[in-house]
Structure 1
Amino acid sequence: MDKATAAVRSGTTYAVCAISNPPSSTDIHDYREVRLTALRTDPSAYSSTYEREAAFDEETWRARLTGSGKVTLVARARRPDTLDGSTEGRGEGVGCMRMIAARSLPAGEGPQGVDPERGYFVFGMWVRPEHRRRGVGSRLLESGLAWVLEDAAARMGSEGAAGVWLAVTATNSGAKRMYEEAGFRELPEEHSADDLPGEIWMSRKMQVNVFNEL
Structure 2
Amino acid sequence: MDAGGVTIRLVGPDDVEAFRQIRLEALRTNPSAFASRYEDWEVLSLEEWRNRLSEPVFIAFQDGQPVGIMGLFRQRSSKMAHRATIVMVYVRAGLRGTGLAVRLLEAISDHARSIGLRQLELFVNAENPAAMRFYQRQGFAEIGRIPGAVLEDGREIDDVMMAWRLVG
Q: TM-score range by the shorter chain?
A: 0.7 to 0.9
Q: Does 1:56 align with 2:56?
A: no
For 2:147 and 2:70, the matched residues in 1 are separated by 19
Within 5 Å, which residues of 2 pair with 1:142-153? 142-152=106-116
Q: 1:150 to 1:133 in 2, by over 3 A?
A: same
Q: Does 1:130 align with 2:105?
A: no
Q: CA RMSD in A?
A: 1.8
Aligned identity (percent) is 29
Q: Does 1:75 align with 2:53?
A: no
TM-score by length of 1: 0.70
Which residue of 11, 16, 38 maps to 1:19? 11
Unaligned 5+ runs, structure 1: 79-90, 105-114, 154-161, 208-213
TM-score by length of 2: 0.87
Deviation at 1:176, TM superposition (A): 1.9
C-alpha offsets along residues 19-73 of structure 1, whole Å, 9 cap, x if unaligned? 12xx11xx0000100000011101112222212211112111111112xxx3101
What is the count of residue pairs matched by the alignment?
161
Aligned partner letter, 2:111: W
Within 5 Å, which residues of 2 pair with 1:32-181? 32-66=20-54, 70-78=55-63, 91-103=64-76, 116-152=80-116, 162-181=118-137
For 1:64 and 1:193, the matched residues in 2 are separated by 28
In structure 2, the residue matched to 1:187 is 143
Deviation at 1:145, TM superposition (A): 0.5
For 1:166 and 1:47, the matched residues in 2 are separated by 12
Q: Contact between 1:102 and 1:116, CA under 8 Å: does it hold in 2?
A: yes
For 1:176 and 1:77, the matched residues in 2 are separated by 26
For 2:52 and 2:121, the matched residues in 1 are separated by 20
For 1:202 and 1:75, the matched residues in 2 are separated by 23
Q: Contact between 2:149 and 2:158, CA under 8 Å: does it hold in 1?
A: no
More strand by share: 2
Q: Contact between 1:17 and 1:73, CA under 8 Å: does it hold in 2?
A: yes
Deviation at 1:174, TM superposition (A): 2.6
Unaligned 5+ runs, structure 2: 151-156
Question: SS of 2:160's equivalent?
Answer: strand
Which residue of 2, 7, 10 maps to 2:3? 7
